[in-house]
Amino acid sequence: MSGADWIAADWGTSNLRVWAMRRGDVVAEAASDAGMNAVSRDGFEPALMALIEPWLDGPVEVIACGMVGSRQGWAEAPYQSVPCRPAGRLTLAPTTDPRLTVRLLSGVSQAEPADVMRGEETQIAGLLARQPDFDGVLCLPGTHTKWARISAGELCHFRTAMTGELFALLERHSVLRHSLGDGWDGDAFDEALDETLSRPERVATALFTLRAEGLLNGEDGPRARARLSGLLIGAELAAMKPYWLGQEVALIGAPRLNEIYRAALAHVGLEARAHDATELVLAGLTAAKEAG
């Protein structure tokens, strides 16, 4: 392929993904592990060019969202404050290649309780581009799961739970790494979810129980893995009850995470529509390109 009208970029902590866009369609895509954590201040332009140079046959604009716009990123794209139309502000990043114009989307901050997002606001903007009348709650499961109240086209309020990061830490680095196998057990997930949803304080003791059950009863790995996930998501749902109780909830995430959270929400009587995060981040970047 050659030529792109513009380039969309989702640049997070661990990864960089880019899409060459022509007449509204993705005509090429690429990705690397040059996430913000792996790139020094001077490394952003080279890391981007390493992926997009084959697509360039003249000047091109790149619209990027995510941690690339943080203080430690390519340039700081100041937060918008809630309430706001998410992904509504662009900041120019300094470039040396004359063909390149790079603009970074702002994240969103909240003063009370203190909270921030960078990247998810673009997925939310993508959903609002497709469903301008959406009124309800969005759950964006991930490393830092976001719950957001949307009304009248604006992001009104949001909260973050570190559920995904906690799961990953416990799975990789804690004593539970010896107890978690591959696979999944839906009943064990539901049971654990119930436990901490109704008694969130139980997380504190239930984690080590997984290890002890492995040692004493030869508890199998898939059950322990599903239980750990259920315990953490149950505690998250307990904390987020003011968000989801009696509300329309939609999910924006990776397919596997959407599936897990859909099961969790079904368990509390909610039928959540699930949207693919990659599709929506592209829709949000496209909306920002069109507006900006």
Q: Which of 163, 229, 258, 278 binds a second copy (CB under 8 A)?
A: 163
Q: Taking CB under 8 A as the rule, does residue 229 contact a second copy?
A: no
What distance in Å separates the CA atoms of residue 231 and residue 281, rounded to the nearest whole number? 29
Interface of this chain with a second copy, residues 44 to 63, rule: CB under 8 A: none
Give, as one character, the DSSP assignment of residue 178: G
What distance in Å separates the CA atoms of residue 265 and residue 257, rounded to the nearest whole number? 12
Q: Taking CB under 8 A as the rule, does residue 115 contact a second copy?
A: yes
CB of 244 to a second copy, least distance (A): 13
Interface of this chain with a second copy, residues 137 to 156, rule: CB under 8 A: 144
For 57, counting Cβ atoms within 10 Å of its Cβ (0-12 exposed, 13-18 middle, 19+ buried), the class is exposed
Residue 103 three-state SS: strand
Give, as one character, the DSSP assignment of residue 215: H
What distance in Å separates the CA atoms of residue 79 and residue 85, rounded to the nearest whole number? 12
**Which one of the spans 41-49, 50-58, 200-208, 247-255 is the region binding a second copy (CB under 8 A)?**
200-208
Q: Based on CB atoms, which residue is closest to a second copy, 123 or 145?
A: 145
Task: Show Cβ contacts of residue 61 under 8 Å, excluding neighbours closer than 6 positions.
Answer: 6, 7, 101, 102, 103, 289
What distance in Å separates the CA atoms of residue 44 and residue 62, rounded to the nearest whole number? 13
Q: Taking CB under 8 A as the rule, does residue 123 contact a second copy?
A: no
> Using CB under 8 A as the criterion, what x/- string covers residues 205-224 for binding a second copy?
x-xxx-xxx-xxx-------
Q: Taking CB under 8 A as the rule, does residue 175 contact a second copy?
A: yes
**Which one of the spans 40-48, 111-119, 183-191, 278-286 is the region binding a second copy (CB under 8 A)?**
111-119
Q: Taking CB under 8 A as the rule, does residue 111 contact a second copy?
A: yes
Helix or strand (DSSP H, E) at 179: none
Q: Taking CB under 8 A as the rule, does residue 161 contact a second copy?
A: yes
Q: Which of 4, 119, 236, 283 binds a second copy (CB under 8 A)?
A: 236
Q: Based on CB atoms, which residue is closest to a second copy, 106 or 163?
A: 163
For 201, counting Cβ atoms within 10 Å of its Cβ (0-12 exposed, 13-18 middle, 19+ buried), the class is exposed
Helix or strand (DSSP H, E) at 72: none
Contact 170, 139 (CB under 8 A): no
Q: Taking CB under 8 A as the rule, does residue 245 contact a second copy?
A: no
Task: Tell me, by CB under 8 A, how many residues bind a second copy.
Answer: 43
Q: Taking CB under 8 A as the rule, does residue 40 contact a second copy?
A: no
**Which one of the spans 48-56, 97-105, 239-247, 280-288 is the region binding a second copy (CB under 8 A)?**
239-247
Contact 161, 201 (CB under 8 A): no
Helices vs strands, H then E, count in the chain: 9, 14
Q: Taking CB under 8 A as the rule, does residue 94 contact a second copy?
A: no
**Which one of the spans 2-10, 56-64, 234-242, 261-269 is the region binding a second copy (CB under 8 A)?**
234-242
Crossing angle between the packed helical segments 186-198 and 203-217, to the nearest 10 degrees = 150
Residues lying near a second copy in the complex (CB under 8 A): 71, 79, 109-111, 113-116, 144, 159-163, 165-166, 169-170, 173-175, 200-205, 207-209, 211-213, 215-217, 235-236, 238-241
